[in-house]
Chain A
Amino acid sequence: MSGREAFTWQAVVVGENGAIDELERPMPHNDDTRFVPRDHNWHPPAHAPGYKTSVARSPRQALVSLVAPTRSELAGPDFTSLRLGPHDNDLLLNFREDPALAGTAGLPIGERILLFGRVVDQFGKPVPQTLVEMWQANAGGRYRHKKDRYLAPLDPNFGGVGRCLSDADGWYRFRTIKPGPYPWPNDVNSWRPAHIHVSVMGPSISTRLITQMYFEGDPLIPLCPIVNTLRDPEAVATMTGRLDMARSRSMDCLAYRFDLVVRGAVQTYFENQG
């Protein structure tokens, strides 16, 4: 697979109602694409002493900049052939203690929410068919992870993991419960604001990003040492899910919108013709 031939291709996906959509979509990982450089003053620095674990886990040497990234950096995995389960993006249903239960039996405890948004690049262009993964604590702030020993109980009906592919226009969505805040060892009394970990691949390993979504208005956000690894309040705003009453469902669930912006793809038709 090389150069221009790889630029567009056909993918067949099964839509929500079983309809098969034919998509023609760009495959930016070819030799004519670059990505907008990462702004390291915007992202948190590796060494952020207020977040104590970063002190011993941060490089002291400068990153080596690849001024001409190669195919190894520009390409990336495409997950349209990964078989996703029917409830992979529905955390209300994907960890029922007894799968035979139906209706409202065996649902997790907590505030029901829709988490949805659009994956776009820095030029505002939708990023279709990209893998979005998420994980979170339950309503009491406890993770279903063997290392989490917090005294809040596990919920027998909640796993806390989801994944989906964005659709042809870049939209993704999950149904879940709002996670609880939890204490963690950093300062003497540090608490994480309620948050959902969100992971997105984008079109290339260069666009790979893991972030956390916080909930608009949470008073724990400005107190959090991990949030405060960021120096720009605008950067914190990019990680804040916004209550969206228009998408909230009457007598059912609230909706939070969380758009993801990945690095912009730039076409460089003239650069390789030196």
Chain B
Amino acid sequence: MHQPNSRPLADTLLKETASQTAGPYVHIGLALELAGLPPRDEEIGPRLAGDGAKGEHIDLVGRVIDGNGDTVRDALLEAWQADADGEYQCQFDLAAPFNSFGRSAATAENDGEWRFATLKPGAVALADGRRMAPHVNLAIFARGINIQLQTRLYFDDEEAANAACPILNAIESVTRRQTLIATRETREGRPCYRFDIRLQGEGETVFFDF
């Protein structure tokens, strides 16, 4: 039995298991079809919103670009976003019209362009009642990335909400805030937001620690 209060808290806290790169073959484990493996009964994929989901249906697309300006062709992305009402649907259920979580990948086959089929999220409320501008949390895993990089995608047609977003405003560099704004385009008649992620150098995307 340990004597209460006899040692500092830090000694009683376990260390987190250390992170390692997901490596070049991450798709085998987390995006089977992209590795050339048959899918199992249910897979976590890039479609967050099905036909019946309420809200504006959109695509999110982009590339991951390294410090040399080259497109990364072996990245895996995880998206996490609220529904059109600004609520997270935490219970992942492929039978539901919308899921807050999804996975996509940039590979040689899609020329390094990842894509999510989703809907435009609503503004998410903070505990104090303020609202964040609509956004999608993205995590990037790849060979050469030792611990996942975490960023947020915002929307360029939400100027007023973006200007008031407490998280965007927490980024000290006003210039760097712009690296989180996706640009609206139309592709095959469907609204689409482009968001290129620059890992290093000029226009380097803001990555968060939280």
Chain A interface residues (CB < 8 Å from chain B): 1, 27, 29, 31, 36-40, 42-46, 48, 51, 53-61, 63-67, 69-73, 75-85, 88, 120-124, 133-135, 143-148, 159-161, 197, 199, 205-206, 208-212, 226-227, 229-230, 234-236, 238-239, 259-264, 272
Contacts and interface: CB of A to CB of B under 8 A. Distances in A.
Contacts of A210: 19-22, 26, 141, 148
A43 B139 contact: no
B14 interface: yes
B109 to A, nearest CB: 9
Given A77-B101, A88-B40, A135-B29, A239 B13 contact: no
A238 B125 CA distance: 37
A206 B37 contact: no
Interface string B124-135: 111110001001
Contact of B20 (A72, A205, A239): A239
A71 B90 CA distance: 11
Contact of A65 (B12, B70, B95, B210): B210
B40 A85 contact: yes
Nearest to B137: A72
B126 A70 contact: yes
B13 A51 contact: no
B209 to A, nearest CB: 4
A104 B50 CA distance: 42
A82 B24 contact: no
A230 B93 contact: no
Given A59-B204, A210-B141, A262-B16, A82 B210 contact: no
B42 A161 contact: no
A31 B126 CA distance: 9
Contacts of A209: 16-17, 19
A224 to B, nearest CB: 10
Contact of B22 (A61, A197, A205, A227): A197
B80 A44 contact: no
Interface SS, A side: loop
B132 A78 contact: no
B169 to A, nearest CB: 11
Interface string B114-148: 00000000001111100010010101011111111
Contact of A146 (B35, B72, B145, B208): B35
A85 B68 contact: no
Contacts, number: 264
B78 A56 contact: no
A124 B18 contact: no
A236 B25 contact: no
A131 B62 CA distance: 27
Interface of B: 12-30, 32, 35-37, 40-42, 44, 66-68, 70, 72, 74, 78, 80, 82, 87-88, 90-95, 99-101, 108, 124-128, 132, 135, 137, 139, 141-149, 152, 167, 170-172, 176, 199-201, 204-210
Nearest to B69: A56
Given A59-B149, A134-B29, 12 more contacts: A38-B16, A56-B67, A57-B144, A59-B199, A60-B200, A66-B209, A70-B124, A77-B101, A78-B92, A135-B29, A205-B80, A210-B21
Contact of B146 (A83, A122, A229): A229
Contacts of A212: 20, 23
A40 B17 CA distance: 12
28 contacts: A38-B209, A44-B20, A51-B21, A51-B144, A56-B199, A57-B142, A57-B143, A59-B205, A61-B206, A64-B170, A70-B124, A70-B132, A73-B137, A77-B80, A82-B92, A122-B13, A123-B13, A133-B29, A135-B25, A135-B26, A143-B35, A159-B37, A199-B29, A209-B17, A209-B19, A210-B148, A238-B17, A261-B16
A147 to B, nearest CB: 7
Nearest to B20: A212
Contacts of A263: 16
Given A64-B207, A261-B15, A145 B36 contact: yes
Nearest to A81: B93
A259 to B, nearest CB: 8
A85 B22 CA distance: 24
A227 B80 CA distance: 29
Contacts of B35: 143-147
Nearest to B13: A122
A54 to B, nearest CB: 5
B111 to A, nearest CB: 15
